[in-house]
């Protein structure tokens, strides 16, 4: 009977919480395994096993213990890279699932591409470099696949170690970085695909693939691939969606995923759909556990759990049609001093869920992958415009205030060229900026060379004749909005007896609101933001 099922869920983190809660709601006995006993899902489980998810023998021992003490009916994960561990345990315990060999094909990007290519499924042109081959074959393969190309570890997730490479000098460093993120040491070089990218989730029951959502992925910050959100459902034409789904289903079947779940990242290019990745699990990134249920009323996690214990998935027909937009927020490098505005987001219209990954005192960095972001907001709307507006408006209310005087923040704002700026200037505006005073200067008795704006009661700023005032930074702020907020802030603190010049603008343009606020706070502390030496 369904209410007597026991399921072993691999992972007790945020991405596994929906599965743990659903299994408990179904009346099942829930066991959870994780290397972190303080993970949020650990306390929700009936039984917790302190086992690393890479430790397949330890997981198998836990499964045998469960089987001997009341039975075990299925093994499950979502949002982790351990579908191989699920398959290993399920296969040896005679439980529902895919063969371990199939799970390996779906996890290892090199094996996946090789298998799909042989099956006639469109994949990027690629080459695989093992640990032993890298030194000898690197330049040869780099010449065979035209630049720009993408370098990635063969067996990781969350865009860790993934990088766009534009020329030969960048190639060796990118390959070594990717290899450091690979358990096997294997690295994949592949063709860079031009075109929008989509995420697709599905459950698979008795060989039939049931699509459960197609979302637009929003990728930023080259040469890295950081997903700053997704929007569910996609708004592409039905004919294009049908093409994407058809290729995805073919890929799932070609890999041999006949029971369980499947997740795909698919590009739509000039030559049609191309498979970026197929995984034998539900997606992470909030799609399967949150945005698809919010948008459709269908709980795909419950369907996948049911399949994991040998039950049919149930009714997968959407109950309604809404739009859910997920948007992430990030930080420039530094140390978090305060987090403002986040706790009020759940009161915003349409906001369904918020996630915060950081705390005051944490050192943060500008993201190079999908695990280095600071938080997320999920908003629902009756239309795409409404959902996106609600999500972005909510993100714009978050303020991550950085500790003044930090060397990493200063370096990012004034020296770093490897990351994009929050705002960009055209050549004429660059000329105007170069003519401003270098940092700050005492208030003069005579007019400065450029119009000076009084900011609040306590500071003055050289104003540039900017055309970019409608551009927005990573928090969806315009330059005008940032200056207005600085008005309010500077009116509430002790006097700042300087005109803020070129370096203030450099901090604002590079780091957006965070850069401007950090600059002022550092200067108020008597420290030069560029040199980090005491102000004379």
Exposed/middle/buried for 71, CB within 10 Å: 0-12, 13-18, 19+?
exposed
- DSSP state letter for 437: -
DSSP code string of 114-131: HHHHHTT-----EEEE-T
pLDDT cut 90: percent of the chain above it? 71
Q: Please, what is the average pLDDT of the chain?
A: 89
- Tell me how many degrees the CA angle 68-42-338 measures, rounded to the nearest 5: 170
Q: Are 80 and 10 in contact (CB under 8 A)?
A: yes
- The verdict on residue 235 lying in a domain is no
Count of other CB atoms within 10 angstroms of residue 430: 11
CATH number of domain containing 91? 3.40.50.20
Of residues 460, 456, 469, 457, the one with CA closest to residue 509: 469
Q: Which residue has the tokens 């704002």?
A: 413
Inform me whether the pLDDT recorded for 18 exceeds 80.
Answer: yes
Instruction: Give dist(CA 451, CA 461) in Å, integer.
Output: 9
Instruction: Give dist(CA 521, CA 240) in Å, integer.
Output: 50
Inform me whether the pLDDT recorded for 505 exceeds 60.
Answer: yes
Identify whether residues 150 and 82 lie together within a single domain. Answer: no
Mean pLDDT over residues 212-218, rounded?
97
- Split at pLDDT 50, 70, 90, the class of 14 is very high
Per the structure, the count of domains in the chain is 4
- Split at pLDDT 50, 70, 90, the class of 450 is very low
- Split at pLDDT 50, 70, 90, the class of 462 is low
- Split at pLDDT 50, 70, 90, the class of 442 is very low
pLDDT in tens, 235-292: 999 999 999 999 999 999 999 999 999 999 999 999 999 999 999 999 887 999 999 9
- pLDDT of 437: 52
- Split at pLDDT 50, 70, 90, the class of 459 is low
CATH number of domain containing 361? 3.30.470.20
Cα torsion 447, 452, 453, 454: sign: negative
Model confidence, pTM? 0.90
DSSP code string of 88-118: HHHHHHT-SS--HHHHHHHH-HHHHHHHHHH
- Split at pLDDT 50, 70, 90, the class of 466 is low
Mean pLDDT over residues 83-105, rounded?
97
Exposed/middle/buried for 370, CB within 10 Å: 0-12, 13-18, 19+?
buried
CATH number of domain containing 135? 3.30.1490.20
- pLDDT of 154: 84
Identify whether residues 457 and 497 lie together within a single domain. Answer: yes
Mean pLDDT over residues 110-121, rounded?
95
What distances in angstroms separate CA 387 from CA 69, 164, 340, 356, 381, one per listed residue? 47, 31, 23, 20, 4
Phi and psi (nearest 5°) for 346? -65, -10
- The verdict on residue 294 lying in a domain is no
- The verdict on residue 198 lying in a domain is no
- Split at pLDDT 50, 70, 90, the class of 514 is very high
Identify whether residues 377 and 444 lie together within a single domain. Answer: no
Token code pair at residue 147: 């630049």
Identify whether residues 26 and 82 lie together within a single domain. Answer: yes
Inform me whether the pLDDT recorded for 428 exceeds 60.
Answer: no
Instruction: Give dist(CA 85, CA 306) in Å, integer.
Output: 19
- pLDDT of 137: 65
Is it true that the peptide bond before 233 is cis, omega within 30 degrees of 0?
yes
- The verdict on residue 103 lying in a domain is no
Instruction: Give dist(CA 326, CA 376) in Å, integer.
Output: 7
pLDDT in tens, 385-420: 999 999 999 999 999 999 999 999 999 999 988 899
- The verdict on residue 439 lying in a domain is yes
What distances in angstroms separate CA 469 from CA 19, 123, 410, 479, 509, one per listed residue? 45, 41, 24, 5, 11
Inform me whether the pLDDT recorded for 469 exceeds 70.
Answer: no
Lowest mean pLDDT among 48-52, 153-157, 380-384: 153-157
Q: Which domain holds residue 46?
A: 2-95
Q: Strand, coil or helix: what is 390?
A: helix
- pLDDT of 280: 94
What distances in angstroms separate CA 7 from CA 30, 73, 74, 331, 401, one per listed residue? 5, 6, 5, 38, 43
Lowest mean pLDDT among 62-76, 280-294, 363-377, 442-456: 442-456
- pLDDT of 115: 95
Considering only residues 4 and 290, tell me which one the structure prediction assigns the higher pLDDT.
290
- The verdict on residue 517 lying in a domain is yes
- Split at pLDDT 50, 70, 90, the class of 464 is low
Q: Are 203 and 223 in contact (CB under 8 A)?
A: no
- pLDDT of 492: 80
- The verdict on residue 179 lying in a domain is yes
Mean pLDDT over residues 171-189, rounded?
87
Token code pair at residue 30: 């829930």
- The verdict on residue 117 lying in a domain is no
Beta bridge partners of residue 126, listed in sequence order: 190
Identify whether residues 62 and 12 lie together within a single domain. Answer: yes
- pLDDT of 493: 78
- pLDDT of 441: 47
Mean pLDDT over residues 497-525, rounded?
89
Q: Are 51 and 57 in contact (CB under 8 A)?
A: no
DSSP code string of 142-206: HHHSPSSEEEEESS--TTTT-EEE-SHHHHHHHHHHHHHT-SS--EEEEEPPPS-EEEEEEEEET
3-state DSSP percent of the chain in helix, strand and coil, to 5 = 35, 25, 40
At which of 375, 403, 431 does a domain end?
Answer: 403
pLDDT cut 70: percent of the chain above it? 87
Of residues 16, 30, 41, 23, the one with CA closest to residue 66: 30
Count of other CB atoms within 10 angstroms of residue 536: 5
Token code pair at residue 497: 């007896």
- DSSP state letter for 310: T
Of all helices (H) and strands (E), which one includes residue 34?
strand 29-34
Q: How many helices (H) and strands (E) does the chain have?
A: 15, 23
Count of other CB atoms within 10 angstroms of residue 173: 12
Identify whether residues 438 and 470 lie together within a single domain. Answer: yes
Count of other CB atoms within 10 angstroms of residue 185: 16
Inform me whether the pLDDT recorded for 445 exceeds 70.
Answer: no
What distances in angstroms separate CA 388 from CA 84, 237, 324, 338, 370, one per listed residue? 36, 19, 8, 26, 20
- Split at pLDDT 50, 70, 90, the class of 454 is very low
- pLDDT of 141: 61
Of all helices (H) and strands (E), which one includes residue 6?
strand 6-10
Identify whether residues 160 and 81 lie together within a single domain. Answer: no
Identify whether residues 399 and 434 lie together within a single domain. Answer: no
Cα torsion 52, 54, 55, 58: sign: positive
At which of 95, 114, 144 does a domain end?
Answer: 95
- Split at pLDDT 50, 70, 90, the class of 446 is very low
Q: Are 69 and 44 in contact (CB under 8 A)?
A: no
Identify whether residues 446 and 352 lie together within a single domain. Answer: no
Instruction: Give dist(CA 315, CA 166) in Å, integer.
Output: 47
- DSSP state letter for 288: I
- pLDDT of 435: 54
Cα torsion at 295, 345, 354, 509 (round to 10°)? 100
Q: Are 170 and 200 in contact (CB under 8 A)?
A: no
At which of 150, 165, 191 does a domain end?
Answer: 191
């Amino acid at each position: 009977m369904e209410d007597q099922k026991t399921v072993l869920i691999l992972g007790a983190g945020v991405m596994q919480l929906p599965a743990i809660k659903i299994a408990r709601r179904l009346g099942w006995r829930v066991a959870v395994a994780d290397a972190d006993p303080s993970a949020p899902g650990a306390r929700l489980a009936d039984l917790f096993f302190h086992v690393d998810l890479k430790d397949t023998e330890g997981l198998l021992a836990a499964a045998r213990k469960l089987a001997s003490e009341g039975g075990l009916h299925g093994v499950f994960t979502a949002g982790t890279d351990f579908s191989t561990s699920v398959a290993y345990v399920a296969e040896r315990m005679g439980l529902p699932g895919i063969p371990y060999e199939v799970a390996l094909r779906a996890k290892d990007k090199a094996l996946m591409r090789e298998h799909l290519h042989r099956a006639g499924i469109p994949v990027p042109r690629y080459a695989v470099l093992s640990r032993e081959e890298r030194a000898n074959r690197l330049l040869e393969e780099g010449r065979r696949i035209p630049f720009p190309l993408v370098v990635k570890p063969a067996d990781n997730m969350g865009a860790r170690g993934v990088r766009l490479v534009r020329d030969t000098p960048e190639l060796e460093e990118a390959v070594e970085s990717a290899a450091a993120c690979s358990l096997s040491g294997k690295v994949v070089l592949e063709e860079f695909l031009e075109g929008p990218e989509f995420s697709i989730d599905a459950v698979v029951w008795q060989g039939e693939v049931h699509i459960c959502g197609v979302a637009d992925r929003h990728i930023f910050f080259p040469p890295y691939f950081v997903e700053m959100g997704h929007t569910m459902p996609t708004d592409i034409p039905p004919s294009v969606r049908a093409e994407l789904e058809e290729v995805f289903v073919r890929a799932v079947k070609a890999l041999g995923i006949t029971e369980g779940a499947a997740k795909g990242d698919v590009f739509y290019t000039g030559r049609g759909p191309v498979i970026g990745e197929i995984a034998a699990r539900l997606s992470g990134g909030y799609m399967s556990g949150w945005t698809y249920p919010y948008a459709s009323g269908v709980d795909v996690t419950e369907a996948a759990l049911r399949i994991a214990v040998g039950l049919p998935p149930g009714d997968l027909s959407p109950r309604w049609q809404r739009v859910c937009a997920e948007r992430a927020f990030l930080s420039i490098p530094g140390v978090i001093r305060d987090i403002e505005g986040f706790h009020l987001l759940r009161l915003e219209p349409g906001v369904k869920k918020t996630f915060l990954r950081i705390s005051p005192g944490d050192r943060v960095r500008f993201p190079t992958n999908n695990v280095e972001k600071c938080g997320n907001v999920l908003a629902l709307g009756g239309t795409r415009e409404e959902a996106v507006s609600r999500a972005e408006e909510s993100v714009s209310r978050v303020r991550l205030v950085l500790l003044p005087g930090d060397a990493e923040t200063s370096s990012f704002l004034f020296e770093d060229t490897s990351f994009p700026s929050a705002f960009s200037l055209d050549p004429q505006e660059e000329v105007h900026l170069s003519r401003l005073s270098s940092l700050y200067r005492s208030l003069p008795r005579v007019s400065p060379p450029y119009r000076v704006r009084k900011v609040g009661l306590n500071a003055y700023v050289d104003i540039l004749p900017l055309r970019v005032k409608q551009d927005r930074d990573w928090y969806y702020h315009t330059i005008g909005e940032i200056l207005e907020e600085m008005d309010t802030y500077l009116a509430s603190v002790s006097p700042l007896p300087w005109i803020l010049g070129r370096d203030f603008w450099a901090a604002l343009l590079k780091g957006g609101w965070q850069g401007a606020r950090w600059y002022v706070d550092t200067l108020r502390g008597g420290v030069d933001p560029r040199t980090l030496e005491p102000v004379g």
